[in-house]
Amino acid sequence: MDLNISVELTSAKKQKPEIDQLSFGKYFTDHMFIMDYDAGKGWHDPRIIPYQPISLDPAAKVFHYGQTVFEGMKAYKTAEGRILMFRPYKNLQRLNRSNARLSIPALDENVIMEALRKLVLVDEEWIPDEQGTSLYIRPFVIATQATLGVSPSEQYHFMIILSPVGSYYAEGINPVSIFVESEYVRAVTGGVGNAKTGGNYAAGLKAQQEATDKGYSQVLWLDGVHRKYIEEVGSMNVFFKVGGKVITPALNGSILDGVTRDSVIQLLRYWDIEVEERAISINELVEAYRNGTLEEAFGTGTAAVISPIGELNWQGDKLALNEGRTGPLSAKIYDFMTGIQRGTLEDPFGWVVKL
């Protein structure tokens, strides 16, 4: 694969948004990375160019058969001006697992890492440095071949775009209310639930919309087979503290193998807190809630890092967790994770990568 990334700088830099105007994935930086794939030729022409629209044939397979994958990661600027990323290779490995599941040709992780580094440095002045802000990085692949046969595309674009993002919560971390979904299903074992592909998110829109209408910020998905085991929340994995130990759904093939999830598990074990990865039924949680042992619940994901859950609505029953306030364990994990991500705390795991 060609490691030589060409760079064409913009002649007209955009105005940067005010920090308090930032919302998730709304503004994009001055440049983007793009690389093409053609069957027989492989991935070629890696290049950084001014951020601009892309032109595709209306028959491009991405418009019809959803052959796409993506990743989401962040870069932070420290007080001393260093640029840090959190476990980027984990995301690139997952990207290739998603590619394999969606019949998309593998990417060279070292080339992508170099593309990432170069692009972030080109747009370095876009990285906000206030507490809670960061540069969100969105690598993605789309199938571009212009034929309507249902088969893997013979042409693709791999792209990276960057978006400065504000604090996920206005003031630090705040508990969210979650609706436990009993009608719609997001994914099932044997399907593509553990790949980061567009169709999984499309499949969740309607449930998410109905939950929003009822005043809930996210849905908690149950498994598609028994319709009772906890899966994940919107774009977060989920953890529960029950009777002093922490439980989280095992990676069963239908949920995403979250980088934050993996990090939190390692962190808890580092702190000598017991963690179990296993099947957890909604009944087990309701039972624990009733007998007073369900102490805390929180979601984990790149966007919010840790998102404490203040309420779970299960078929109309409202379970208030830790009296609707952020639990002490959630807060402790949040402080540690964001501290090492921003370089204000020492990183005992070697997770942080300086660009």
Ligand X SMILES: Cc1ncc(COP(=O)(O)O)c(C=O)c1O
Binding site for its own copies (CB under 8 A): 23-26, 28, 32, 51, 53-59, 62-68, 70, 101-103, 136, 138, 140, 142, 146-152, 159, 161, 163, 183-192, 197-206, 208-209, 224-225, 227, 234-235
How deeply is 41 buried, as exposed, middle or buried, from its count of CB atoms within 10 A (0-12, 13-18, 19+)?
exposed
Which residues make beta-bridge pairs with 221? Answer: none
Binding ligand X (rule: CB under 6 A), the pick from 211, 259, 282, 294 is 259
Question: With CB under 6 A as the contact rule, which of the stretches 16-24, 62-70, 175-183, 258-266 interacts with ligand X?
Answer: 258-266
Shortest Å distance, C-beta 233 to ligand X: 8
Q: Residue 62 binds which one of ligand X, its own copies, none, with CB within 5 to 8 A depending on kind? A: its own copies
3-state SS class at 66: coil
How deeply is 40 buried, as exposed, middle or buried, from its count of CB atoms within 10 A (0-12, 13-18, 19+)?
exposed
Contact 68, 340 (CB under 8 A): no
Round to the nearest angstrom and report the end-to-end CA distance of the chain: 22
Binding positions for ligand X, 45-104, rule CB under 6 A: 72
| CA dist., res. 290 & res. 296, Å (int) | 14
3-state SS class at 5: coil
When asked if residue 155 is in the footprint of ligand X (CB under 6 A), the reply is: no
Contact 327, 308 (CB under 8 A): yes
Residue 317's H or E segment, with its range, is strand 317-320
Shortest Å distance, C-beta 355 to its own copies: 21
Q: Residue 4 binds which one of its own copies, ligand X, none, with CB within 5 to 8 A depending on kind? A: none
Shortest Å distance, C-beta 52 to ligand X: 26
Query: Among residues 186 and 241, whose Cβ is nearest to its own copies?
Result: 186
Shortest Å distance, C-beta 88 to ligand X: 11
Q: Residue 149 binds which one of ligand X, its own copies, none, with CB within 5 to 8 A depending on kind? A: its own copies
Question: With CB under 6 A as the contact rule, which of the stretches 115-123, 211-219, 245-253, 297-305 interacts with ligand X?
Answer: 297-305
Which residues make beta-bridge pairs with 312? Answer: 178, 319
Binding ligand X (rule: CB under 6 A), the pick from 300, 313, 326, 330 is 300
Which residues, in sequence order, are CB contacts of 2 under 8 Å at separation 6+? 43, 44, 45, 46, 111
When asked if residue 230 is in the footprint of ligand X (CB under 6 A), the reply is: no
Q: Residue 291 binds which one of its own copies, ligand X, none, with CB within 5 to 8 A depending on kind? A: none
Binding ligand X (rule: CB under 6 A), the pick from 92, 119, 137, 256 is 256
Phi, psi of 181, rounded to the nearest 5 degrees = -85, 125
Binding ligand X (rule: CB under 6 A), the pick from 153, 208, 237, 338 is 237
Query: Among residues 256 and 282, whose Cβ is nearest to ligand X?
Result: 256
Shortest Å distance, C-beta 32 to its own copies: 6
Phi, psi of 153, rounded to the nearest 5 degrees = -65, 155
Locate all alpha helices (DSSP H) within 231-327, ordered by sequence. 259-270, 282-290
Q: Residue 206 binds which one of ligand X, its own copies, none, with CB within 5 to 8 A depending on kind? A: its own copies
The token pair at 240 is: 């529960």
